[in-house]
Amino acid sequence: MSTDAASIQGQTSYVIIGGGLTAARAVEGIRESDADGRITVIAAEQHLPYERPPLSKGVMLGKDEEDVVFPHDRAWYDEQHVDLRLGTTATAIDTAAHTVTLSDGESLPWSRLLLATGSSVRTLEVDGADLQDIFYLRTLDDCEALKARLVAGSDVVIVGAGWIGLEVAAAAREHGCEVTVVEPQDAPLQGVVGPEVGGWFADLHRSHGVEFRFGEGVERFTGNADHKVDGVVTSAGDTIRADTVVVGVGIRPTTELAEAAGLTVDNGVVTDAALRTSVPDIYAAGDVANWRSETLGTNLRVEHWANANDGGTAAGKSMAGQDVTYDPIPFFFSDQYDAGLEYSGYVPRGLKAEVVLRGDPKSNEFMAFWLDGDRVLAGMHVNVWDTVPAIEQLVRDKTPVDRTKLADPDVPLSDVRS
């Protein structure tokens, strides 16, 4: 079937595979240019498309109701004439016929197809991994099930000191749990922020009662007669008591559909700056997309909220015929206890960037910058607000900076150039 054949009565048929924030924003992007096109969203979960950051923040803490995760209610999708296929998965894409096969056997035609399949958790393949009360936090259902386990006085062991692990640790402590974090590296987030800033994260959590077991991995889980986890055996040979275990060891892009359809896949579905894949009329956005950044001169795959949010909108516009160049500076945020932080920029994996601190980390009000030579690659603020535009400008400009000025809180960021 040709692209024209996939259109019905002159309407373009848009199909979005995925039920996250990227899908919701893509609908918005399409409707900016095409008020009449037929839009179908294929979502594997029974929930409306939703965003994930609240799952490890406000919803997990019990401070926000579940519905805060939904950018739109059901009535909005009805108003936008969106055909929502909840609890349905796509099983195959036929790029020549312009059809997608669904789990119920239906063959659905499309003129433009968006892969917003996101990512899935990496799992631990160790003895005892199938015991009950071992959680991976990825979905709304995961969040609700885990939150019910965060009971004051219970022992929670978290495997992995990445963003998810740290945010769950903070939530568990605020629920009154005893928390131990097992992390093979020497500091939290060491591969992302380096040992110095990673050490600040460790100090922040220790000050709230979290115990860390750095330099240790998980050998196996132990369980009781009811097949429920009761302990974590580390690579040091120690057993840590556990009523609940949360594993946060990363995610991987969900590329199986794209690979089977013959799209170019390399650490995600490869796209150009308009989020077009290697196959005409197929686009990708969100966690699964490895897009071309014109500013940074490289391909990027980013697993954070801003990319799902902005990338979804950009993909929708691009699908509907707008001239799009998707070129954001990567951004993410985190809330842990009374520390709010935002990070903008990109440090290539494996690069040993120099860290310049602005302010005193012990005060929990400071900034950190990652430099390659005298150029800023990324910056982060902790409880210091309204600096993201200035950080992004430094990253975009690639202009040499003066380290002394950069480290001085009294010097405006607009004046730190050398």
Rg (CA), the chain: 23
Claim to verify: residue 192 and residue 99 sit in the same structural domain: no
The predicted structure's pLDDT at residue 143: 96
Is the pLDDT at 6 greater than 70? The verdict is: no
Check residue 23 and give its pLDDT: 98
| pLDDT of 318 strictly over 90 | yes
- If DSSP codes are grouped into helix, strand and coil, which group holds residue 414? helix
- Do 390 and 414 contact (CB within 8 A), yes or no? yes
Name beta bridge partners: 181.
158, 212
pLDDT digits (tens, 9 = 90+) for 262-302: 999 999 999 999 999 999 999 999 999 999 999 999 999 99
> Is residue 5, in this structure, part of any structural domain at all?
no
Alpha helices in 190-346 (DSSP H): 190-206, 256-260, 305-319
Q: Can you say whether residue 275 is alpha, beta or left, with left for phi > 0 and alpha for psi between -120 and 50 degrees?
A: left
Tens of pLDDT, residue by residue over 78-106, are: 999 999 999 999 999 999 999 999 999 99
- Provide the pLDDT confidence category of residue 249 given band limits of 50, 70 and 90: very high
> Do 232 and 184 share a structural domain?
yes
Count of alpha carbons within 13 Å of 166, Cβ hemisphere only? 24
Q: Give dist(CA 96, CA 279) in Å, integer.
A: 10
Q: Scan for tokens 């960021």, then name that residue.
A: 413
- Is pLDDT at 174 greater than 60 in this prediction? yes
What tens digit of pLDDT does each residue of 48-67 get? Answer: 999 999 999 999 998 999 99
pLDDT in tens, 199-237: 999 999 999 999 999 999 999 999 999 999 999 999 999
Tokens of 330: 């990567």
Residue 4 has pLDDT above 50, yes or no: no
CB-hemisphere CA count at 13 Å for 99? 9
Mean pLDDT score of the chain: 95
286, 319, 352: which is the final residue of a domain? 319
**Contact between residue 276 and residue 326 where contact means Cβ atoms under 8 Å apart:** no
Dihedral sign for Cα atoms in the order 382, 305, 80, 276: positive
Structure tokens at 206: 């220790």
Domain assignment present for residue 331? The answer is no
Rounded to whole angstroms, the Cα distance separating 310 from 26 reads 9
pLDDT computed for residue 350 by the predictor: 83
Mean pLDDT of 1-16: 64
Sheet of 239-241: strands edge to edge?
A: 218-223, 229-234, 239-241
CATH code: domain of residue 109: 3.50.50.60
What's the pLDDT at 2? 39
Residue 76 lies in a domain: yes
Tell whether the model's pLDDT for residue 156 goes beyond 60: yes
Is the per-residue pLDDT at 10 higher than 70? Answer: no
User: Dihedral sign, CA of 308, 311, 313, 316?
Assistant: negative
For the residues 68-82, what does the mean pLDDT come to? 97
Same domain, 283 and 361: no
Say yes or no: 50 and 151 in one domain.
no
How many C-beta neighbours within 10 Å does residue 403 have?
14
- Let me know whether 145 and 220 are in one domain: yes
Residue 42 CB partners (closer than 8 Å, separation 6+): 15, 16, 17, 18, 19, 85, 88, 89, 90, 100, 102, 108
Q: Is residue 7 part of a domain?
A: no
Residue 5 has pLDDT above 80, yes or no: no
| Tally of domains within the chain | 3
| Structure-block tokens of residue 84 | 């929502």
Query: For residue 7, what pLDDT is reported?
Result: 53
Rounded Cα distance, 383 and 168, in Å = 20
Long-range CB pairs of 185-190 (<8 Å, 24+ gap) are 185/161, 185/214, 185/215, 186/214, 186/215, 187/161, 187/214, 188/161, 188/162, 188/212, 189/161, 189/162, 189/163
Report, as an integer, the average pLDDT of 332-357.
Answer: 94
Q: What is the domain-level CATH number for residue 369?
A: 3.30.390.30
Q: Is the pTM of this model over 0.85?
A: yes
The pLDDT assigned to 351 comes to 87
Specify the pLDDT at position 83. 97
Q: Do 206 and 287 fall into the same domain?
A: no
What does the pLDDT look like over 124-137, one tens digit per residue?
A: 999 999 999 999 99
State the residue range of the domain holding 156: 134-249
Phi and psi at residue 307, to the nearest 5°: -70, -40
Strands (DSSP E) found in 188-288: 211-214, 218-223, 229-234, 239-241, 244-247, 251-253, 269-270, 282-284
Query: Quick check: helix, strand or coil at residue 384?
Result: coil
Q: In terms of domains, do 108 and 165 share one? A: no
Task: Answer yes or no: do 105 and 29 share one domain.
Answer: yes
Alpha carbon separation from 134 to 53, 54, 61, 66, 211 (Å, rounded): 21, 20, 19, 22, 19
Residue 99 lies in a domain: yes
pLDDT in tens, 107-126: 999 999 999 999 999 999 99
Residue 326 lies in a domain: no
Give yes or no: residues 245 and 258 share one domain.
no
Q: Write down the pLDDT at residue 9.
A: 54
Q: Say what the pLDDT of residue 12 is.
A: 87
**How sure is the predictor about 11, in pLDDT bands with cuts at 50, 70 and 90?**
confident
pLDDT for 8 beyond 70: no
Would residue 56 count as lying in a domain? yes
pLDDT at site 3: 44
* Statement to judge: residues 242 and 259 lie in one domain: no
Structure tokens at 133: 């009360």
56 vs 143: CA distance, rounded Å: 7
The answer to whether residues 222 and 264 belong to one domain is: no
- Confirm whether 181 is domain-assigned: yes
- The verdict on 138 and 242 lying in the same domain is yes
